[in-house]
Structure 1
Amino acid sequence: MAKTIVLILQIICALGLIATVLLQSGRSAGLSGSIAGGGEAIFGKKKGLDELFSKLTAYIATIFIILTLALSLF
């Protein structure tokens, strides 16, 4: 019973981790940044949102590791 609950929590955590990583903007925008980089100069970059997703990713990754270790003990 407990193993099933931890497994379901780990799947939810994995999906959340995937979502937060995909929602983050890249460190180097690459070709798309060179084309659309002028928009950031005018409108500014959403710094607070990037910091929020960075912290959220770290928290979810920590929970994911803890759940993985718990599953290995079962």
Structure 2
Amino acid sequence: MAVLETVIMVIYALVCIALTVIVLMQEGKSAGLTGAISGVADTYWGKNKGRSMEGTMEKFTKILAILFILLSIVLNLNIWK
């Protein structure tokens, strides 16, 4: 059981580091009201955001956040002792 806990903790640490790096790499969403008025959402990049690098990083952020939460729950269960 101790080996499994160690493996999960290593995976957890890697997920934490990857999540931090991906969040820091993302651009800020500071367009605010002026972006909505000028029609930023109607541009080519706004319509194809899912295929862009920013869209891909958002998908990875969601996946890593879910893994982070699940691994946190698993590591806090009292089955390891």
1:49 Cα deviation after fit: 1.0
Residue 11 of structure 1: which of 10, 13, 20 is its match? Answer: 13
Higher relative contact order (CA 8 A, sep 6+): 1
Report the residue type matching 1:19 in the other structure: V
Q: Deviations over 1:26-49 (max 9, x none)?
A: 0017xxxxxxxxxxxxxx96x411
Richer in helix (by share): 1
Greater CA radius of gyration, 1 or 2? 2
**Over residues 1-28 of structure 1, what are the superposed CA-to-partner deviations in whole Å (9 max), with x where a residue is unaligned?**
1111111000000000001001100001
Give the Cα separation in 2 of the matches to 1:25 and 1:9: 26
Unmatched segments (≥5 aa) in structure 2: 32-43
How many percent of aligned residue pairs carry the same amino acid? 29
1:62 is displaced (CA, Å) by 0.4
Stretches of structure 1 that go unaligned for 5 or more consecutive residues are 30-43
Which aligned segments of 4 or more residues in structure 1 are displaced greater than 6 angstroms? none
The whole-number CA distance in structure 2 between the counterparts of 1:65 and 1:3 is 16
Which TM-score applies when normalising by structure 2?
A: 0.66
Q: 1:49 aligns with which of 46, 53, 65?
A: 53
Q: Does 1:68 align with 2:72?
A: yes
CA RMSD of the aligned region, Å?
1.9
Q: How many residues are aligned here? A: 60
- Counterpart residue type for residue 17 of structure 2: L
Counterparts of 1:66 and 1:51, CA distance in 2: 23
